Structure 1
Amino acid sequence: MTQPVDAIDPATPERRQAAGTQTLLRGLAAIECVATGTTEVKGIAARLNTPRSTVHRMLNSLVAEGYLHHVPYKGYLLGPKLIELGMKALEQRPLVALARPHIEALAQRTGDTVHLGVVDGDEVFYLDKIPSTRGLEMRSRVGLRMPLASTGIGKALMLGMPPSRWRALHDAVATAPDTVGGRPGPLPWPKYEKLMAGFLRRDWVLDLEENEISVRCVGAPVRDISNQVVAAISVASAVPYMPDERMAELGPVVRAAADAISKELGWKQDGSATGRP
């Protein structure tokens, strides 16, 4: 029995659509390769399991459209088009737009770096950052992911989780290779659990150089209309600017700023089911 022409013709609309989808996905995968540090044609081709000639043509197209930038003899970098789209994506997220005035005011009041972040798996994803006016630099940046259990903003997000989840998050960071190799990490579990229980009661947290040497943070959770923790903010600075006494004073200040953002999201602090636990 003779097959219909459409069933064997590679130029049918269905075949063209499938090929177009495959090309699109391959292009996005190439961008992800560059974003994660694979910047040469050879490495990208290996990760995509695609011939180098095909990858080279695809990369040239992405460069032409501004999604990638090519540096001769060095490889590919993310291009200006992605920066533009990334900024637009942030602007379109209501959380970022609503929180921005509050974290700007907090940064102005404290003079320290202020972060806004959300949960992404077992990590915190940084949505916004207001730099310190003290001239201090830290490795945090918009788009960065860091462990929940060893960061101030991450611990604040953990306050919205069942305490039964805390141990696994703690252990994952405590046994991570970069922690074992000398990077700061969380306190031993018994002490960590006790501190987290205290943080839960007062609704703000501390990071005592657990994620970055010489950097301390105070964080607090942000809630929505259903009283769920949907984000968190933190104030971070170098140890000389963060003695224990100042951190204790900053706790209620950071929590008040987080509450102000929560109210923008419909949260009500009235002692009812929609108030703070």
Structure 2
Amino acid sequence: MAYSDNQWPQGTQTLGRGLSIVTAVSAGIETLSDLAREIGCTRSTTQRLTAALLRQGWLRQEANNRYALGEQLGRLAVQAQVSLPLTDIGLPFLKKLSEATRDTVHLGIRSGDQVIYLHKSEGRRGLEMRSRIGQQMPLARTGIGRALLLDDGEAEWVRLYRINYRDTLDGMESWLERMRVYQSTGCVFDLEDNEIGIHCVAAPVRDAMGSIVAAISVASASPYLPVSRMETLASVVRQTARQISEQLGWRMMSDVAD
């Protein structure tokens, strides 16, 4: 819905226009001309507003001059998500998973082209992972990030690979082949893709509509989490992700049929 100054009290129209720009960008309106049309302002006025939002981190500008949501909104998303049922619902399952594996367990959500960690259960092997709650990491480089992408098409995978692996574009086909395998199994392996010496097993969490809304992972140093153990843990991680999904209202088609 297009913005109208009449929706805001006298003296707050500039605030309303700025918030409307952020809302429009979140809805997929990405160009300056389209944003100007959406809020009913001149191009120059819209440019001043977007410039202010860029400076404060509420928006960011891609290489093609299209607008996207900025890091400030990502931080607010973390704070909002922490207070929502997702973290509370997942917590007992995540703690149980961490206790059973003795490894670090994460819960994360997508924010633009990043994954944001909402929860971290420390492992019990004397190894402290560098990850922290609220941290943002590239989707395509992390196991938990790629688990969030399993429902996306290959065009989106390619776009994110080009963003996150600018210096190693020749490896894209092998990376895509791995994603195809992970999509078919519903589980992602991180084999030191993001950090040397660190492996992880990740799986997506779904809501009542079946959409991926979060992902979980078990991570540890590669000697503690060799590929053989990752293959064993895959079913455990998937099962935990399924338990959290079921708490959010998700059911597999076979469950619905029964």
* TM norm. shorter chain > 0.5: yes
Residues 1-277 of structure 1 aligned to structure 2 (within 5 Å): 89=80, 91-175=82-166, 180=167, 188-271=171-254
Q: Secondary structure at the match of 2:157?
A: helix
Amino acid at match of 2:183: L
Normalised TM-score (structure 2): 0.68
Question: How far apart in 2 are the matches of 1:201 and 1:91?
Answer: 30
How far 1:160 sits from its partner (Å)?
A: 2.3
How far 1:170 sits from its partner (Å)?
A: 1.1
Extract unaligned runs of 5+ from structure 2. Answer: 1-8, 20-54, 57-75
Amino acid at match of 1:208: L
Report runs of 4+ in structure 1 exceeding 6 Å deviation.
85-88
Q: Secondary structure at the match of 1:135?
A: coil
Note if contact 1:208-1:217 (Cα within 8 Å) is conserved in structure 2: yes
User: Over aligned residues, Cα RMSD in angstroms?
Assistant: 3.0
Amino acid at match of 2:98: A
Q: Secondary structure at the match of 1:241?
A: coil
Q: Secondary structure at the match of 2:223?
A: helix
How far 1:135 sits from its partner (Å)?
A: 1.6
Aligned to 2:49: none
Question: How far apart in 1 are the matches of 2:149 and 2:114?
Answer: 10
Residues 208 and 88 from structure 1, CA distance in 2 versus in 1: closer, same or farther, beyond 3 angstroms?
closer
Q: Secondary structure at the match of 1:158?
A: coil
Question: How far apart in 2 are the matches of 1:87 and 1:192?
Answer: 29
How far 1:219 sits from its partner (Å)?
A: 0.2
Extract unaligned runs of 5+ from structure 1. Answer: 1-12, 26-46, 49-84
Amino acid at match of 1:203: G
Amino acid at match of 1:188: G
Q: Secondary structure at the match of 2:253?
A: coil
Question: How far apart in 2 are the matches of 1:151 and 1:118?
Answer: 12
Question: How far apart in 2 are the matches of 1:129 and 1:152?
Answer: 15
How far 1:269 sits from its partner (Å)?
A: 1.7
Residues 198-250 of structure 1 show CA distances to partners (whole Å, capped at 9, x for unaligned) of 11111001001111111111000001111101100000000110111001001
Residues 165 and 108 from structure 1, CA distance in 2 versus in 1: closer, same or farther, beyond 3 angstroms?
same
Q: Secondary structure at the match of 2:159?
A: helix
Question: How far apart in 2 are the matches of 1:254 and 1:187?
Answer: 31
Note if contact 1:149-1:186 (Cα within 8 Å) is conserved in structure 2: no
Amino acid at match of 2:91: R
Count of matched residue positions in the alignment of Structure 1 and Structure 2 = 195
Amino acid at match of 1:113: T
Residues 163 and 271 from structure 1, CA distance in 2 versus in 1: closer, same or farther, beyond 3 angstroms?
farther
Question: How far apart in 2 are the matches of 1:135 and 1:193?
Answer: 34
For structure 1, which segment, 88-97 or 155-164, has the greater mean C-alpha deviation from structure 2 after superposition?
88-97
How far 1:171 sits from its partner (Å)?
A: 1.4
How far 1:270 sits from its partner (Å)?
A: 3.1
Tell me the percent identity: 43
Aligned to 1:53: none
Residues 244 and 168 from structure 1, CA distance in 2 versus in 1: closer, same or farther, beyond 3 angstroms?
same
